Structure 1
């Protein structure tokens, strides 16, 4: 897998906890491009044309301006998975909490409107996107799948069955009509190694 970032605007997650970024990107090659340079744009276009699948998490217009037009690459045989806030035809920008609240995954708590979980749109869309990516990689013909964070959240929102949270002997449980269900304690994951520095593999990929 190759992670491509703009050299003047790299992934903001690089500025967060190092272990989290390592969990996401250990084992990935890192390519940094200057999208203002015609040569970098041409090289990026050539790299993209050799990919089995492109994962796009920016607004579609951004990559199109850089010469990566989804319809063209799909026609040439590269599948494309686009992750957006509200679909490729919308101009909205969204993040985990605000998309979740907008799509109904929130509850009223006094004067506040609170998301029912932390950054739910991110995790739910990640699961939906992983399933979509598997379909694309197994498909006989390249195609595009547009994954809207808003649509994913709306697909799981709705009335919540009556339930109660119970603490017993230091453990939490959910009690509902279907019975008593244990809540697993959070378990941290350990990265397999360190993610590559920004642009560490640019020379090998950008000939």
Structure 2
């Protein structure tokens, strides 16, 4: 059973977003001041060229979502902390990981250097080799051996999750690019999907919103920022005066996500009064724990931490018990991951009608691309979320920009559901989150503006953490009482039936 219709403060914002009514004011020298101040502009452009602006008010539109969060948090009895804990603009959130890692703009190389824009015979592909095993899949993908050159080895930078892992094969970008250049994009995309490689096609934003995946999800240009029970949020508008359900005692968030998008959402919900419990698999902790400590602490300080052995029936049953007590569940796995655990969002909402379930995926939980892997850089490219340099070629936007954008938008949607009494499933796709900010940019321009005149391009910067993040499993005894043995999930959960 669906929950109450969502608060007008969210649905009005969503309608204004898609209509392009947010951030209509002029931009200094063609550059949005919020973009220049965000740290993301400093990360956008060729490494030997100027940082690039955008032809849309990207940050102003994200700021409007942050305003939704602030408004709803105050209505729920938990106003956001004073300035400093959360910036007045959402823009600086876009550059915080880069500040922690010391990243710089790379043009066709992502700021984190795990992805590249590679020209195929009929278009540009974003190829992301973020995971240790991705390089091993390249011979199967390209049907040829792909060896790294000396230049590749010298230039190789490992993603955060691999920093403490044994050395792996360098990414063979030189020979990969040579092979891709001779192939058509469509079969390369099909083979990448079969192999589980994160590869996307750079397209105009309007074209992205007209492909088979968008049509299957009922999307159009510009994308809705997320779907609520299968519909765009403006379709769930409230009809009565705003009477949010006050939560002076707070609400509980079970955070099953990792890395950046989901944890940023959980962090913002925590600032809005949520009591966050981070859940990690006992044998597979969040890879971000191996990255910069300040960044991990920033997103997780003040959250409880439990670990669960998901490979056993007892561990899965313990997770179900935890979910049953939650107001919000946040997860960022491809649909088949929870299907394999026998846990279905619809069944859990039926058992707990006040539950809000937030799913973050690359392309959405429905449609023909529902199982495609994606990361922040390649998902943005798939939405048409690229900048265009002076030569007319695409370059990456910021650092994995779909991740922080998704974190902010998912938090706004989740809090609106909490305010409405819960009972909603939010389906948040990285691609659609970025695409929702691109109204008035249906096609990519010949080039994007470089900073000029009085515009100052700020470097990425990181807020000070509010404390230390809990050690993995620190709160197991308090939050997971009793032995973790016994039967697995009930048939109601395993079959998805109430």
Aligned residue for 1:166, secondary structure, equals coil
Structure that is richer in strand per residue: 1
Question: Corresponding residue for 1:116?
Answer: 397
Aligned to 2:204: none
Offset from partner CA, 1:156-175 (integer Å, 9 cap, x none): 2325697441266xxxx1xx
On the 8 A contact 1:7/1:34 being kept in 2, the answer is yes
The residue aligned with 1:203 is: 477
Distance in 1 between the 2:300 and 2:359 partners? 19
CA contact (8 A) 2:336 2:371 kept: no
- Equivalent of 1:135 in 397, 416, 423: 416
State how far apart, in whole Å, the 2-side matches of 1:141 and 1:19 are: 33
SS in 1 for 2:280: strand
Q: Judging changes above 3 Å, is the alpha-carbon distance between structure 1 residues 131 and 71 closer, same or farther for their aligned structure 2 residues?
A: same
* C-alpha RMSD of the superposition: 2.2
> Are 2:327 and 2:422, in contact at CA under 8 Å, matched by a contact in 1?
no
The structure with the largest alpha-carbon Rg is: 2
Corresponding residue SS for 1:156: coil
Q: Could you tell me which residue of structure 2 aligns to residue 2 of structure 1? A: 277
Match of 1:49 among 324, 340, 343: 324
Whole-angstrom CA distance in 2 between matches of 1:126 and 1:41:
26
TM-score, normalised with respect to structure 2:
0.37
Cα offset for 1:111? Answer: 9.3
TM-score, structure 1 normalization: 0.85
Gaps of 5+ in 1: 174-181
- Which consecutive aligned stretches of 4+ in structure 1 deviate over 3 angstroms post-superposition? 107-113, 159-164, 182-187
Counterparts of residues 149-164 of structure 1 (less than 5 Å): 149-157=430-438, 158=441, 159=444, 163-164=449-450
Distance 2:318 2:431 in 1: 33
CA contact (8 A) 1:101 1:114 kept: no
Within 5 A, what are the aligned runs for 1:1-207?
1-76=276-351, 77=353, 78-89=355-366, 90-109=370-389, 113-157=394-438, 158=441, 159=444, 163-166=449-452, 173=455, 183-184=457-458, 186-207=460-481
The number of aligned residues is: 195
Secondary structure in structure 2 of the residue aligned to 1:51:
coil
CA contact (8 A) 1:42 1:67 kept: no
